[in-house]
């Protein structure tokens, strides 16, 4: 898919010429996003990576309609970002699990369904289904604080899937986890993706994480926040050996070089990844 | 159960040693009751007049409870309004701070003139005003100090503002509310008791401590003090029990 393809029914997210400027026209003006154009296909896994201040989280927030674009067109599931949020076309997970301490694990997963007005029996059944998917059914009646960080994050992912949205937006969801848990969670996420066929946009600042999970890695750079390169990754089905595979390291290298910035031959990296 | 016993015996032991030394000091130095009555004398007065003690305590406790409930309600309603409407917030913040600086109990004589001195009303009002402040300040903080990520989550789920208050802000404020109540409940007993010193019906602990002391019945005055301590403790323990029931998650480490 080309970057400027028009929004179609097959496009999960379509951003065209999106700008986000904080304090426009005032002394503290900051261009958080400059002319961002990006298409995410249905079922695609796209990571946003870049140093702090590159606007990756801002871009995710514009997609989620948590903040508005200053200029440009943002479509989510063929709707405006605001409509998509109102019609719950996406589920969102944050770096903090943001679970409510006063609710049990199951009732936390039920929260979005409650907001949609589902009746008690239906939402309870749906929550149990999701907890089984993230392998936490045994903890349904526990309180969030009784769970480890990784388990809390799995509850948050279950919650983001509750209304069965076609798109998942994830803002460094594994950023606070230790390395071992993190790799397990990555495999979990890929399994969930296989089972559900969701499109996923995933913000991270871990290069291996972005390469391991994604179909494409969107590399961004700060001041002003913009997309500098999009690195396609073709690792095929991820297995236990993937993290040791040469293609994986090639992908890591390609993303790292793109992050460093190499104005002379950005295209050669793409070609190299394509070869392997 | 064993660990609960371990938590209970140190203060009990301390109390026993303390009372023992007190008794020893009074007897050995022959200290006069108007200076310091012996624990045995206080206990004689207390246990000998149990009926009177409890009815007196009940009178003051009723005043305190009325003031506590009404003051809490006013604090809760105003905190909710201040969270919702910025105008109320701007209005209330200096007012609440100003109110906290007023020696409210000392207003009782004035309130006694404004309202019927033979009724509880002036005392209930004093208690209300004293209770209002910690409730308002703490609950307001609980309503406002919500994790930003939880607010974003609610917005991402398209929750209406009223729903955010109901499902996020109010539950978030409950631990803050109980923190306030742990201060306000014993405080309400003290406020009700002290306001009795300024006239009105002579049926409560404050009035009777004053009149017993004036009649040189020091043992009895102290017995009423003991009754006041018990009343305050009962109020405090009631709050603890309510917290266990209504907010079992408080005091736990917060999930992130």
- CA distance linking residue A36 with residue A20, whole number of Å: 9
Strands A71-76, A226-232: pairing is: unpaired
How close is the nearest chain B Cα to the Cα of A90, in Å? Answer: 8
Q: How far apart are CA B219 and CA B216, in angstroms?
A: 9
Report the mean per-residue pLDDT for chain B: 89
Report in angstroms the alpha-carbon separations of A195 from A10, A185, A190, A236.
19, 15, 9, 16
Q: Are B149 and A176 an interchain contact pair (Cβ–Cβ within 8 Å)? A: no
Chain B residues within an 8 Å CB radius of A94: 149, 152-153
Contact between chains at A114 and B167 (C-beta distance less than 8 A) = yes
- In Å, the largest CA–CA distance within chain A is 60
Identify the residue among A65, A100, A201 best suited for mutation to test binding to B, counting B beta carbons within 10 A and taking the highest.
Answer: A100
Q: What is the pTM of this model?
A: 0.84
With respect to residue A127, please indicate whether it lies within any of the assigned structural domains: yes
DSSP string computed for B22-89: HHHHHHHHT--TTT---HHHHHHHHHHTHHHHHHHHHHHHHHHHHHHHHHHHHHHHHHHHHHH-HHHH
Say how far apart CA B86 and CA B91 lie, in whole Å: 9
B157, A112: Cβ pair inside 8 Å? yes
Asked if B161 contacts B101 with a C-beta cutoff of 8 angstroms, the reply is no
3-state secondary structure of A232: strand
Domain of A131 in residue numbering reads as 97-164
- In B, which residues are within 8 Å of A101 by CB distance? 249, 252, 254-255
Q: Indicate yes or no: CB of A102 within 8 angstroms of CB of B171.
A: yes
Residue of A nearest to B170 (CA): A102
Across the interface, of A64, A101, A114, the residue whose CB is closest to B249 is A101
SS3 per-residue string spanning A198-225? CEEEEEECCHHHHHHHCCEEEEEECCCC
Q: Determine, yes or no, domain membership for A145.
A: yes
Task: Please indicate, yes or no, if residue A142 is contained in any of the structural domains.
Answer: yes
Locate A233 and state its tokens.
């990754």
Cα(A240)–Cα(A228) distance, integer angstroms: 31
Express each pLDDT in B153-182 by its tens digit: 999 999 999 999 999 999 999 999 999 999
Residues B204-215 have a mean pLDDT of 91
Count of residues making up chain B: 256
User: Do the strands A199-204 and A226-232 form a parallel or antiparallel pair, or are they unpaired?
Assistant: unpaired
A112 within domain boundaries: yes
Tokens of B76: 């809760």
How far, in Å, CA of A170 to CA of A89, rounded?
A: 14
Give the C-alpha separation, A9 to A239, whole Å: 31
Give yes or no for a cis peptide into A273 (omega within 30° of 0).
Answer: no
Confidence band (pLDDT; 50, 70, 90) for B256?
Answer: very low
**Residue B226 Cα to chain centre, angstroms:** 16
Report CA torsion sign: B227, B232, B235, B238: negative
User: Which residue matches tokens 């990844």?
Assistant: A273
Tens of pLDDT, residues B130-154: 999 899 999 999 999 999 999 999 9
Q: Are A115 and B163 a contacting pair at CB < 8 A?
A: yes
Write out chain B residues lying below 8 Å of A148, CB-based: none
Instruction: Give the Cα separation of A40 and A34 in Å (integer).
Output: 18
Both tokens of residue B188?
Answer: 């309400």
Selecting from B156, B168, B256 the residue whose C-beta is nearest the C-beta of A66 gives: B156
Residues from chain A contacting residue B171 (CB–CB below 8 Å): 100, 102
Task: Pick the closest to residue A225 from A53, A6, A82 (CA basis).
Answer: A53
The closest of A102, A203, A219, A160 to B172, measured between CA atoms, is A102
Query: Are A111 and B255 in contact (CB < 8 Å)?
Result: no
Residues of A in contact with B163 (CB under 8 A): 115
Q: Residues B190-222, buried b or exposed e (16+ Cβ, 10 A)?
A: bbbbbbbebebeebbbbbbbeebbeeebbbbbb
Extract the runs of DSSP E, i.e. beta strands, from chain B. Answer: none
What mean pLDDT comes out for the span A20-48?
92
Chain B nearest CA to A96, separation (Å): 5
Q: Enumerate chain B positions whose Cβ falls within 8 A of a Cβ in A.
A: 147, 149-150, 152-153, 155-159, 163, 167-168, 171, 174, 247, 249, 252-256
pLDDT at B238: 95
pLDDT band per the 50, 70, 90 thresholds, residue B251: low
The single-letter DSSP state of residue B219 is: H
Angle (CA) B104 B110 B114, round 5°: 120
Secondary structure (3-state) at A231: strand
The C-alpha atoms of residue A233 and residue B241 are separated, in whole angstroms, by 58
Give the model confidence (pLDDT) of A227-261 as tens digits.
Answer: 999 999 988 888 888 888 889 999 999 999 999 88
pLDDT category of residue B92 using cuts at 50, 70 and 90: confident
pLDDT in tens, A187-226: 999 999 999 999 999 999 899 999 999 999 999 998 899 9
Give the residue from B164, B249, B255 with the most A CB atoms within 10 Å of its CB, the best one to mutate: B255
Q: Kindly state the DSSP code that residue B169 receives in the 8-state scheme.
A: I
CA-closest candidate to residue B188, choices B132, B122, B120, B111: B132
Whether A185 and A153 have beta carbons less than 8 Å apart is answered as yes
How many domains does chain A contain in total? 1
| pLDDT tens digits along B222-250 | 999 999 999 999 999 999 999 988 888 77
| 3-class secondary structure, A74 | strand
CA–CA gap between residue B211 and residue B224 (Å, rounded): 11
Among chain B residues, CA nearest to A171:
B149
CATH number of B41-246: 1.10.3720.10
Rounded to whole angstroms, the Cα distance separating A49 from A228 reads: 11
Nearest Cα residue to B136 out of B196, B199, B73, B67: B73
What are the tens digits of pLDDT across the range B27-76?
999 888 888 899 999 999 999 989 999 999 999 999 999 999 999 999 99
Candidate from B157, B158, B249 with C-beta closest to A143: B249
């Amino acid at each position: 898919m080309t970057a400027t393809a028009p929004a179609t029914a097959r496009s999960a997210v379509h951003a065209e010429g999106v700008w986000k400027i904080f304090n426009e026209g005032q002394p503290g003006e900051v261009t958080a996003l400059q002319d961002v154009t990006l298409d995410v296909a249905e079922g695609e896994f796209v990571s946003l990576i870049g140093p702090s201040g590159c606007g990756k989280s801002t871009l995710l927030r514009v997609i989620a309609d948590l903040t508005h674009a200053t200029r440009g067109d943002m479509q989510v599931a063929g709707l405006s970002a605001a409509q998509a949020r109102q019609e719950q076309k996406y589920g969102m997970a944050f770096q903090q699990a943001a679970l409510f301490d006063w609710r049990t694990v199951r009732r936390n997963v039920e929260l979005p369904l409650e907001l949609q007005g589902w009746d008690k029996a239906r939402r309870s059944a749906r929550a149990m289904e999701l907890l089984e998917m993230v392998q936490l059914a045994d903890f349904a009646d526990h309180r969030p604080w009784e769970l480890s960080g990784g388990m809390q994050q799995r509850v948050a992912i279950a919650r983001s899937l509750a209304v069965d949205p076609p798109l998942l937006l994830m803002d460094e969801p594994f950023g606070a986890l230790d390395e071992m848990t993190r790799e397990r969670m990555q495999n979990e996420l890929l399994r969930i993706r296989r089972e559900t066929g969701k499109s996923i946009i995933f913000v991270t600042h871990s290069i291996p994480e972005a390469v391991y999970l994604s179909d494409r890695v969107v590399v961004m750079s700060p001041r002003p926040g913009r997309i500098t390169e999009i690195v396609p990754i073709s690792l095929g089905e991820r297995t236990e050996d993937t993290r040791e595979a040469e293609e994986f390291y090639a992908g890591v290298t390609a993303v790292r070089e793109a992050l460093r910035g190499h104005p002379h031959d950005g295209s050669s990296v793409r070609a190299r990844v394509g070869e392997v | 159960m064993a660990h609960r016993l371990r938590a209970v015996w140190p203060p009990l032991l301390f109390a026993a040693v303390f009372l023992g030394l007190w008794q020893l000091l009074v007897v050995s130095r022959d200290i006069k009751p108007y200076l310091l009555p012996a624990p045995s004398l206080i206990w004689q007065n207390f246990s000998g007049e149990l009926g009177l003690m409890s009815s007196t305590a009940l009178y003051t406790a009723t005043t305190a409870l009325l003031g506590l409930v009404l003051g809490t309600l006013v604090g809760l309603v105003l905190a909710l309004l201040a969270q919702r409407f910025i105008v109320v917030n701007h209005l209330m913040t200096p007012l609440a701070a100003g109110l906290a600086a007023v020696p409210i109990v000392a207003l009782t004589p004035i309130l006694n003139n404004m309202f019927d001195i033979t009724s509880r009303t002036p005392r209930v009002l004093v208690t209300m005003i004293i209770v209002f402040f910690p409730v308002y300040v703490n609950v307001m903080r609980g309503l406002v100090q919500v994790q930003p990520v939880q607010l974003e989550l609610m917005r991402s789920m398209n929750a209406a503002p009223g729903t955010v208050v109901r499902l996020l802000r109010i539950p978030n404020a409950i631990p803050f509310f109980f923190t306030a109540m742990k201060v306000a409940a014993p405080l309400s007993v003290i406020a009700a008791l002290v306001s009795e010193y300024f006239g009105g019906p002579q049926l409560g602990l404050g009035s009777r401590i004053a009149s017993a002391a004036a009649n040189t019945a020091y043992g009895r005055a102290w017995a009423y003090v003991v009754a006041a301590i018990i009343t305050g403790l009962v109020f405090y323990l009631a709050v603890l029990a309510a917290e266990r029931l209504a907010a079992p998650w408080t005091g736990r480490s917060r999930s992130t």
